[in-house]
Chains A and B, each alone.
Chain A
Amino acid sequence: MIEPDDTDRAILRALARDAGQSAGALGRRLGLSQPATWRRIRRLQEAGVITGRVLDLDKEKLGFGVTVFLGVKLATKGRISLEDFERAVTAIPEVQTVEHVLGMYDYRLRVTARDLADFERVLRRRLMTLPGVGNVEANVLLSEERRPGPLG
């Protein structure tokens, strides 16, 4: 674990918004030289604070009009069933994220689909047939905001 200073936090805030900007451009805004900015970014990557990048795509324009979050309870448990379920669920292309959670559900899935009819197809053919699936709760995403987090 590293303890970031104010400059590190400013770099993280900026890159979480726009990871495409160059170290030079970012440094100019923060009053740092290009090499100094680059060294700090490298250190944050090496410490595992910055783990990578994701593309910011307009999913509606790409034809993915529906995002549904599913809470899944497994009917049977045990090490084997967890591994079987995880292997099978991560292989489904429409399943974007899989989180193992504790509480009233065992897994939380983010599922993308073209529309509700397409979601129903994915749900019936692919998700309900997964090994060990018990109770499933679906909530359709209406809006989503990502916050900068405690970097202030």
Chain B
Amino acid sequence: MLDDLDRRILRHLQRDPALSVPELADRLGQSAPRLTRRLEKLQSGGILRGQRAVIDWRALGYEVEVSLRVTLDKTQTRAFDDFLEGARGIPEVLEIQTFLGRVDVRLSVIARDIAHYQHIYRRKILTLPHIADIEALMHVARIKSDEVLPI
């Protein structure tokens, strides 16, 4: 069970994951050894799994980002398995999410420009198996993206 100090640690780290243990200890008014023990406990409990770098694909020349909302032909028993396996093979697919709702699967796809997107869409996406319908949302701007949990 998390106590108040655990929650404060996670709140601070979510806002600034690059904080060192001494910096974090200083902000929370705790000793560094105590904080290290807490962090180890959060890691061994599987709560704090690690951290990952955020890549801005635009800075690498990928100007287009499209969210593809896919409905699958569920009369095919392997619809999800086959579709997901195919989608994993497309390098430009950044995220694959499955849903309960009107949409079955969502793919986040990036491309260098519209012509490149059209190529990926026609040659790689539309050839994926068991697609019943696709809707596209073109990404304009990220207003909030920290993905912070309200701990």
Binding site for B on A (CB under 8 A): 1-4, 12, 15-20, 47-59, 61-62, 64, 69, 71, 86, 89-90, 93-105, 107-108, 110, 112, 137-147, 149-152
Contacts and interface: CB of A to CB of B under 8 A. Distances in A.
Interface in B126-150: 135-150
A48 B151 CA distance: 29
Nearest to B62: A150
B56 A145 contact: no
Given A49-B60, A93-B150, A147-B88, A12 B51 contact: no
Contacts of A58: 46-47, 49
A152 to B, nearest CB: 6
Interface of B: 2, 10, 13-14, 17-18, 45-57, 59-62, 67, 88, 91-103, 106, 110, 135-151
A141 B101 CA distance: 9
Nearest to A148: B91
A86 B139 CA distance: 15
Contact of A108 (B55, B102, B137): B137
A19 B92 contact: no
A102 B59 CA distance: 22
Contacts of B106: 69, 139
A62 B110 contact: no
A24 to B, nearest CB: 16
